[in-house]
Every structure is written in C-alpha cells, then in structure tokens.
C-alpha cells in the first residue's frame, strides 16, 4: 500500500500542478480538486494494472493513454479560442463538441443554483437527453469547484474513466486469445484517435466505452469456468456497468445487453443459463426499455408502449438526420435528385461509413487546429476499417467451430453497429464517428483477431482490401481537390463511383482467380 502511494501521490500532485495552470479562477482551488481526482483515478489505474498481473506493456499503455487524453484536453482548451472559428461561441470557450459546450454550460448553471441535482433529469435541462452526465457534471462543479466554472475538471474525469476501462479490456482480450490478441487489441482500444478525442472532451462516450469494456469482461468472468475466482467481482462489474449505462444512455444498456446475451450463449454450449442470470437479464432489459422510452417520450410520439416509442423515435430520428444532411449540402441535394428515393438511405449509410473522410481532411480549407484534428481522426478510421472488413473474409479460417461462432458474432456486431450509427447520424462527420466509437471494445477485438489471422497467413485478402481502399482514396482526393481548387479537372460523381467500383471489382476478381489457382 505504501509503495503504491509513493508512486501515485507524487504523480497526481505533479500532473495536477501542471493541469491547473490552464484552469480559470484561483490556482489553489483549481489544484486541490484536480489533485484529489487524479489521486483517486491514478490509484484505481494502479490497482487495475496490479489486478491484471502487472504486465509491463499494459503499464506503458495506461500511462500513454492517460497522458495523451490530458494533453489533448488542454491543447484544445488553449488552441480553439485562438485558432478556431472566432464566430463560434463554442470554440471561443475551448470546446471541440457543441453538445459538450451546451451540456457543460447547463451543468454549471445547475451547480451554481440552489436547485437539487435531480433537476438534471427534468425537461428544464434539455441539453442532456437522459440527464445522467448533466447531473454528474453539475455535482462535480457544486462540490469540487463552486467558486469558478472549470471545464477541464470534467475532461479530466472523462480521461481517467476512459483509461480505467483498459485493464478490464486487457483481461477480456487475454482470455479470448492470450497476450497475442490482448496486446494489439488493447493498443487499438487505448489509442484509436476518435476514442482519444472524445475522452479529452466533456462527452458521455468515454464513460460508455469503459462501461462496455467492463460489461464484456464481466460477461466472460461470470460465465467462464477458468475465471471462477472473479465471479463476485464480475457481478459487481455488471452492476456498475449497467447502472452507469442506464444513467448516461439507456439505449446503450439495451444494445449491450442484447449483444452480450447472445455472446454468452455462443461461447460455450455446455454452460446453461441459471434462472438467476435470466431474471437479472430480463429485469435490466425491461428497466432499460422503460427509462429509454420515458426519455424519448418527452417528444411527440404516437406509440403508447415502451418498445413502440423507441422504434418510432428511431425511425423519425433517422429520417430527420437524412433530411438535415440533404438540406445542409448542395451536392447531396443534387445527388438525391438524380437517384431513386429507394437509394437515399443506402447512400446515407455509405456516406456515414466513410466519415470522417480522409481526402476531405487533407484537402478541405480550415484552420490549422481543425485541419490536423480532421487528419488525426480520419487516419484512425481508415486504418481500422480494412481490418474490420478483412476479418469477415477470414472467418472461415477460424481455428474451431466455437471460435468461428464467437468471431462471427463480433464481426456482425461491429458492422451492424457501424451501419446503424451511419444511418442514425445521417452521415454527419462528427456524430457518426462518436456514436461508432462507443463499441470500440468490440471493434478492437475483431480487428486484432483479423490482424493475427493475417500474420498467421490465413489468406491474402488484406492487401487486396487495402488496394481497394487506395483506389477509393485516390479518386475521392481528386474529387475533393476539384471542389476546392478549380485548377483540378473534375469527374462527375457518378463517373467517379463507376471507376471506383470497376477497378475494385477487378482487384477482387483477380484475387479470387489467384486463390483458385493456388488451391
């Protein structure tokens, strides 16, 4: 214990001392809450690392993951007011996300009022659809920073919580495939750019990312004979993860429950579900449905039951986002006019899956801050997506029937979520990636497994998929350059898509022919 404090206390004081230099208000009253939060958070990270067996690689991952999130939080808070868009109140205040700006402002208003924190769940505070993060942020301000609004405190907690999910994820990945899977999967989980970005902002995604990782580990520990010694901890983990999701986003509690419920059934056919497990699953699922429908029912919905409310709201949300995409872009309006209405939703799904678009990140004129951020986010997605796609090609080469069932479910779950978020976000370059990253735990596992399959020489499809991606990027880079710089000749959108599909089909066909010759 004393050895742990000798490491965590000085480290907490050092980081808090630097971190508080960038906060508003009196330095001492910025330093003290930051030091306390950091001490609790870093001590929890140390415990998590110790519990995971003290692997040196995990220690480096935890340290760098936390440091990157804290540095980026401060960097944006300082850079956006001077190198963002001056007509944006959000950016003048140092916020990357508009949702974070609105919710954090209301959290401070609630904290500095005499109203109880439970008011965050009422209609009076509409910036947080579910109220949980708003109430939490207001509580932090009221009890830790009553003298001044210090937005970096919430970013600090988000960074710590996001990093805290890493030891749980490491343990889950290690159980599924040993350190051979755990290391690449945890590297993706900890350093995926969108995950770093949301965890350096005042957003709910870092909390959800960790809740999903804890729930995944708990599902394995609860059901797996090899992890019987952690059954009690798994029950606590499930409880914390699901309660956290219910407060922050009941929708994610439902989706996570459904995903993990099927996963538990797939991982071992001989293990039978106990009545207690089934009852708990049903109770939490019903509670999630009611909480979600209550939150969504604040809008005008015709349905009169929880499931109907959720379905109707989702349909309306998707149609509204599609409408917003069309209204906000002249070239999308032109494309919609030229294509049948039945192709509008598939187009939006494809457009959303391409976000953040890498060619646009390089070519589109903007400030330096936004330019480098766009490239950072897009590079991460365009490195991860080929592995997620390649994983589907290599599923038949799985080592066993059980492995094939499990990884098929992870692959289908990853892509179902990616497609759904593309539709739900209406192809938006900000909402689509941040919704998608909530399930980075599932995506990281599937991508790391696919990478290991490639390293083991299971098949030759990864280079072919990368070739198709290069074709896509080359044509779209030219297309975006022609939009912003007149000197580049432009292909029509239809002609460009035809070229991409034609050349991609040629690559795939040649690959199939090559594989048949080898056989």
Nearest of 88, 112, 113, 85 to residue 102 by alpha carbon: 88
Lowest mean per-residue pLDDT among 245-254, 300-309, 350-359: 300-309
Beta carbons within 10 angstroms of residue 228's beta carbon: 11
Nearest of 494, 493, 193 to residue 358 by alpha carbon: 193
DSSP 121-162: GSTT--SSSSSHHHHHHHHHHHHH-TTS--HHHHHHHHHHHH
Q: What is the pLDDT of residue 270?
A: 53
**Considering Cα of 238, then 240, then 241, then 244, what sign does the dihedral take?**
positive
Question: Is the pLDDT confidence value at 361 over 60?
Answer: yes
Q: What is the pLDDT of residue 201?
A: 94
Q: What is the mean pLDDT of residues 376-390?
A: 96
Nearest of 35, 41, 9 to residue 20 by alpha carbon: 35
Q: What is the pLDDT of residue 3?
A: 74
Mean pLDDT taken over the chain? 87
Residue 200, SS3? coil
* Both tokens assigned to 230: 């952690």
Residue 319, SS3? helix
Q: Are 156 and 36 in contact (CB under 8 A)?
A: no
**Considering Cα of 457, then 461, then 467, then 473, what sign does the dihedral take?**
negative
d(CA 175, CA 398): 17
Query: What confidence category does residue 10 fall into, taking pLDDT thresholds of 50, 70 and 90?
Result: very high
Question: Is the pLDDT confidence value at 194 over 60?
Answer: yes
Q: Are 317 and 382 in contact (CB under 8 A)?
A: no
Express each pLDDT in 277-291 by its tens digit.
Answer: 666 666 766 766 666
78 membership: H or E segment, kind and range: helix 56-83
Q: What is the mean pLDDT of residues 91-95?
A: 94
d(CA 438, CA 417): 10
Q: Is the peptide bond before 3 cis (omega within 30 degrees of 0)?
A: no
Q: How many residues does the chain have?
A: 519
Question: Is the pLDDT confidence value at 428 over 90?
Answer: no
18 membership: H or E segment, kind and range: helix 2-19
Q: What is the pLDDT of residue 122?
A: 82
Q: What is the pLDDT of residue 471?
A: 95
Question: Is the pLDDT confidence value at 483 over 60?
Answer: yes
Q: Are 405 and 399 in contact (CB under 8 A)?
A: no
Q: Are 176 and 213 in contact (CB under 8 A)?
A: no
Residue 289, SS3? helix
Query: What confidence category does residue 43 fall into, taking pLDDT thresholds of 50, 70 and 90?
Result: very high
By percentage, how much of the chain surpasses pLDDT 70? 87
Q: What is the mean pLDDT of residues 208-221?
A: 94
Q: What is the pLDDT of residue 226?
A: 60
Beta carbons within 10 angstroms of residue 130's beta carbon: 23
Q: What is the mean pLDDT of residues 491-517?
A: 88
Burial string for 165-199 (b: 16+ CB within 10 Å, else e) reads bbbbbbbbbbbbbeeebbbbbbbbbbebbbbbbbb
214 alpha-carbon distance from chain centroid:
14
Which of 514 and 472 is assigned the larger pLDDT? 472
Lowest mean per-residue pLDDT among 165-179, 360-374, 419-433, 441-455: 419-433
C-alpha distances (whole Å) from 358 to each of 374, 376, 379, 380, 489 are: 8, 9, 7, 9, 20
229 alpha-carbon distance from chain centroid:
30
Q: What is the mean pLDDT of residues 61-67?
A: 97
d(CA 21, CA 28): 10
Question: Is the pLDDT confidence value at 321 over 60?
Answer: yes
d(CA 231, CA 235): 6
Q: Would residue 426 be called left, alpha or beta, if left means φ above 0 and alpha means ψ between -120 and 50 degrees? A: left
Q: Are 241 and 168 in contact (CB under 8 A)?
A: no
Q: 494: which residues sit within 8 A by CB, 6+ positions away? A: 338
Express each pLDDT in 299-311 by its tens digit.
Answer: 566 666 666 666 6
Nearest of 492, 344, 514 to residue 422 by alpha carbon: 344
Express each pLDDT in 104-132 by its tens digit.
Answer: 999 999 999 989 999 988 877 777 778 88
* Both tokens assigned to 30: 């910025």
d(CA 186, CA 513): 36
Q: Are 430 and 368 in contact (CB under 8 A)?
A: no
d(CA 111, CA 142): 5
Question: Is the pLDDT confidence value at 225 over 60?
Answer: no
Query: What confidence category does residue 73 fall into, taking pLDDT thresholds of 50, 70 and 90?
Result: very high
Q: What is the pLDDT of residue 298?
A: 57
Nearest of 257, 268, 248 to residue 206 by alpha carbon: 248
C-alpha distances (whole Å) from 363 to each of 39, 209, 433, 473, 484 are: 43, 31, 19, 12, 8
Which of 398 and 270 is assigned the larger pLDDT? 398
C-alpha distances (whole Å) from 246 to each of 15, 212, 496 are: 32, 12, 45
Lowest mean per-residue pLDDT among 325-329, 486-490, 496-500: 486-490
Q: Tell me the H-state helices in 395-486.
A: 401-424, 431-436, 440-455, 461-484
By percentage, how much of the chain surpasses pLDDT 90? 56
Query: What confidence category does residue 292 fall into, taking pLDDT thresholds of 50, 70 and 90?
Result: low
Q: What is the pLDDT of residue 436?
A: 95
Scan for tokens 């980075």, then name that residue.
440
Q: Which of 252-266, 307-321, 363-377 has the highest mean pLDDT?
A: 363-377
Q: What is the pLDDT of residue 418?
A: 94
DSSP state of 519: -
Question: Is the pLDDT confidence value at 424 over 80?
Answer: yes
* Both tokens assigned to 39: 């001490």
């Amino acid at each position: 214990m004393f050895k742990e404090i000798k490491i965590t206390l000085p480290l907490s004081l050092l980081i808090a001392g630097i971190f508080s230099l960038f906060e508003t208000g009196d330095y001492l009253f910025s330093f003290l809450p930051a030091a306390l939060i950091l001490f609790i958070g870093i001590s929890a990270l140390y415990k998590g690392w110790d519990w995971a067996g003290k692997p040196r690689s995990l220690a480096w991952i935890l340290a760098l993951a936390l440091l990157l999130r804290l540095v980026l939080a401060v960097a944006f808070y300082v850079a956006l007011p001077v190198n963002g868009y001056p007509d944006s109140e959000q950016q003048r205040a140092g916020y990357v996300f508009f949702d974070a700006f609105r919710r954090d402002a209301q959290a401070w208003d609630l904290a500095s009022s005499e109203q109880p924190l439970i008011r965050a769940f009422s209609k009076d505070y509409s910036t947080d659809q579910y109220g949980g993060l708003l109430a939490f942020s207001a509580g932090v301000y009221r009890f830790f920073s009553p003298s001044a609004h210090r937005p970096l405190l919430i970013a600090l907690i988000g960074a710590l919580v996001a990093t805290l999910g890493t030891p749980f994820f490491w343990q889950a990945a290690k159980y599924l495939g040993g350190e051979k899977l755990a290391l690449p999967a945890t590297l993706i989980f900890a350093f995926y750019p969108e995950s770093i970005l949301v965890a350096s902002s005042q957003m709910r995604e870092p909390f959800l990312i960790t809740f999903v990782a804890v729930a995944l580990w708990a599902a394995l520990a609860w059901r797996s004979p090899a992890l019987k010694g952690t059954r009690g901890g798994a029950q606590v983990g499930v409880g914390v993860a699901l309660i956290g999701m219910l407060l922050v986003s009941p929708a994610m509690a439902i989706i996570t429950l459904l995903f993990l419920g099927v996963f538990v059934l797939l991982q071992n056919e001989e293990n039978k579900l106990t009545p207690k497990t089934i009852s708990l699953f049903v109770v939490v699922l019903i509670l999630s449905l009611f909480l979600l429908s209550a939150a969504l029912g604040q809008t005008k919905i015709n349905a009169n039951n929880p499931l109907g409310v959720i379905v109707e709201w989702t349909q309306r949300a998707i149609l509204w986002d599609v409408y917003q995409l069309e209204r906000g872009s002249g070239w999308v309006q032109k494309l919609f006019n030229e294509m049948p209405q039945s192709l509008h939703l598939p187009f939006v799904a494809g457009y959303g899956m391409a976000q953040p678009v890498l060619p646009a990140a390089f070519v589109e004129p903007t400030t330096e801050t936004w330019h480098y951020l766009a490239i950072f986010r897009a590079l991460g997605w365009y490195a991860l997506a080929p592995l997620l796609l390649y994983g589907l090609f290599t599923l038949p080469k799985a080592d066993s029937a059980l492995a094939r069932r499990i990884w098929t479910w992870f692959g289908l779950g990853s892509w179902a979520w990616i497609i759904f978020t593309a539709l739900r976000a209406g192809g938006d370059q900000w909402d689509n990636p941040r919704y998608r990253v909530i399930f980075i735990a599932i995506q990281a596992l599937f991508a790391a497994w696919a990478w290991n399959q490639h390293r083991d020489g299971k098949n030759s499809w990864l280079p072919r998929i990368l070739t198709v991606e290069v074709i896509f990027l080359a044509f779209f880079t030219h297309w975006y350059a022609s939009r912003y710089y007149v000197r580049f000749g432009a292909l029509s959108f239809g002609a460009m898509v035809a070229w991409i599909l034609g050349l991609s089909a040629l690559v795939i066909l040649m690959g199939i022919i090559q594989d048949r010759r080898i056989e």
